[in-house]
Amino acid sequence: MTVKHILHVVGARPNFMKIAPIMRVMAKWPDEFAQKLIHTGQHYDAAMSQVFFDELDLPRPDVNLEVGSGSHAQQTAQIMQKFEPILLEAKPDWILVPGDVNSTLACALVAVKLGIRVAHVEAGLRSFDRTMPEEINRLVTDQISDLLFTPSQDGNENLLREGIKPEKIHFVGNVMIDTLVQLLPKAQERWFQLRDRWALHAAVDNYVLATLHRPANVDDPKTLQELLLALTEIAQKLPIIFPVHPRTRKRISDYGLIPSSAQLQFIDPLGYLDFLALQLHARFVLTDSGGVQEETTYLGIPCLTIRPNTERPITVTHGSNQLIASSRAAIIDAAETILGKPRSTEIRRPPLWDGYAAERIVQYFRAMD
């Protein structure tokens, strides 16, 4: 049997959770797969990157392109320039690109132009909002990829509507949930330490977890002020734990919007396990993150997503997610609705969000000639 040479690309935190289970499953067949891991360095500081490699048990990258920050054009161009010689030397049979960040699109473009086959993990997601850079990344990557692994049936429908050949499309489920299922016991072990660290003894299952980082929410001072006013008001009723993304922290400081509430705790970004543990015990989560919408859906935790749209509509139709406007009034109204109802024990999980998506992906590669 010919060994398949696979090159995995990661660039930002959500990519790590999607690639880790695939690499772990492929490692079960060392006679069939030779794997390499390339980190573009799109997320480059330890708080946003290194801790995830440690917690997910990802091998150290074979190459780190160390691209760092920059405009979308600068970052994409740098990744392409630095990735091309890696591909020319490695000559893989396939590259796997997960998600929708600049690294996803840049590396897929380079590979396709060199005649190297591309598999897109988490294909077919659409927000139908082309003002989002991620939407452009998703659309283009799906058009040029050879294999498209979708996390939900709406992904298949989107791809077929866009003219993708059906034989390229494979519904495998959500590979991020594989990571969640594997690490949930470890996350639960951390809860008591976290509870003590942030004095949540009296607030078990009765605090709010918040995350905000999207430019539409944090780059405009009026919008950011509305969001912080909402958090301050909610904090009068429930403690709020707010791991602050570096971008968000800078904007809050630049605009002089630091709120004064003892119950609103600004903390540094968290690793995957700590954040997962805090999600599990939260009364609800307030976010603009795509991955958090998925995780709260699996966990059955109410999630208020501050966005006008989502590329993961299944988290709304089948899960615990709700889209809300980025205004104080809308957030407060939605929060009061959640708090006014008994906590539901019902969990509705989308099909194939079962912890075995990576197994299904690897089986496709094993079946190839």
Residues 118 and 243 in one domain: no
Q: How far apart are CA 109 and CA 112, in angstroms?
A: 5
DSSP reduced 3-state for 182: helix
Residue 47: predicted pLDDT: 54
Q: Which residues contact 29 (CB under 8 A, 6 or more apart)?
A: 362, 366
What number of CA atoms fall less than 13 Å from residue 145's CA on the CB side?
Answer: 35
Report whether 141 contacts 108 (CB < 8 A).
Answer: yes
Bridge partners of 265, per DSSP, are: 241
192-195: which pairs have CB atoms within 8 A and are 24 or more residues apart?
194/274, 194/277, 194/278, 195/281
Residues 218 and 120 in one domain: no
**Does residue 348 lie within any of the structural domains?**
no
Closest of 251, 229, 244 to residue 326, by C-alpha? 229
Confidence of residue 257 (pLDDT cuts 50, 70, 90): confident
Q: pTM for this one?
A: 0.93
Residues 196 and 328 in one domain: yes
Q: Which residues contact 215 (CB under 8 A, 6 or more apart)?
A: none
> Does 24 have pLDDT greater than 80?
yes
CATH number, domain at 293? 3.40.50.2000
Query: Over the stretch 276-304, which tens digit does the pLDDT of each residue have?
Result: 999 999 999 999 999 999 999 999 999 99
What is the domain extent for residue 317?
A: 183-339
Residues 37 and 161 in one domain: yes
Residues 302 and 357 in one domain: no
Residues 319 and 213 in one domain: yes
Query: Among the listed ranges 16-20, 32-36, 222-226, 365-369, which one has the minimum average pLDDT value?
Result: 365-369
Residue 14: predicted pLDDT: 85
Q: Which residues contact 284 (CB under 8 A, 6 or more apart)?
A: 208, 209, 301, 302, 303, 304, 335, 338
Residues 46 and 10 in one domain: yes
**Does residue 264 lie within any of the structural domains?**
yes
**Catalytic (active site) residue 213:** yes
- The length of the chain is 369
DSSP 8-class letter at 47: T
**Does residue 347 lie within any of the structural domains?**
no
Residues 20 and 162 in one domain: yes
Q: What percent of the chain has pLDDT over 70?
A: 96
Residue 184: predicted pLDDT: 96
**Could you give the angle at which helices 246-254 and 221-234 cross, rounded to 10 degrees?**
100
**Does residue 260 lie within any of the structural domains?**
yes
Query: Over the stretch 27-60, which tens digit does the pLDDT of each residue have?
Result: 999 999 999 999 998 765 555 556 777 888 888 8
Residues 282 and 306 in one domain: yes
**Does residue 57 lie within any of the structural domains?**
yes
Residue 203: predicted pLDDT: 59
Other Cβ atoms closer than 10 A to 260: 6
**Does residue 345 lie within any of the structural domains?**
no
Residues 84 and 209 in one domain: no
Residues 71 and 135 in one domain: yes
Task: State the DSSP string of 255-317.
Answer: TT-----TTEEEE----HHHHHHHHHH-SEEEE--HHHHHHHHHHT--EEEESS--S-THHHH
**Does residue 344 lie within any of the structural domains?**
no
Average pLDDT of the chain is 93
Q: Which token pair is 61?
A: 């990258």
Query: Among the listed ranges 66-70, 263-267, 355-359, which one has the minimum average pLDDT value?
Result: 66-70
Q: How far apart are CA 132 and CA 74, in angstroms?
A: 17
Number of independent structural domains in the chain: 2
**Does residue 103 lie within any of the structural domains?**
yes
Q: How many helices (H) and strands (E) does the chain have?
A: 16, 13
> Does 96 have pLDDT greater than 70?
yes
Residue 201: predicted pLDDT: 72
Task: State the DSSP string of 183-237.
Answer: HHHHHHHTHHHHHHHTT-GGGTT--EEE----HHHHSSHHHHHHHHHHHHHHTTT
Marked catalytic residue, from 8, 39, 43, 213 = 213
> Does 94 have pLDDT greater than 70?
yes
Query: Over the stretch 159-173, which tens digit does the pLDDT of each residue have?
Result: 999 999 999 999 999
Residues 188 and 141 in one domain: no
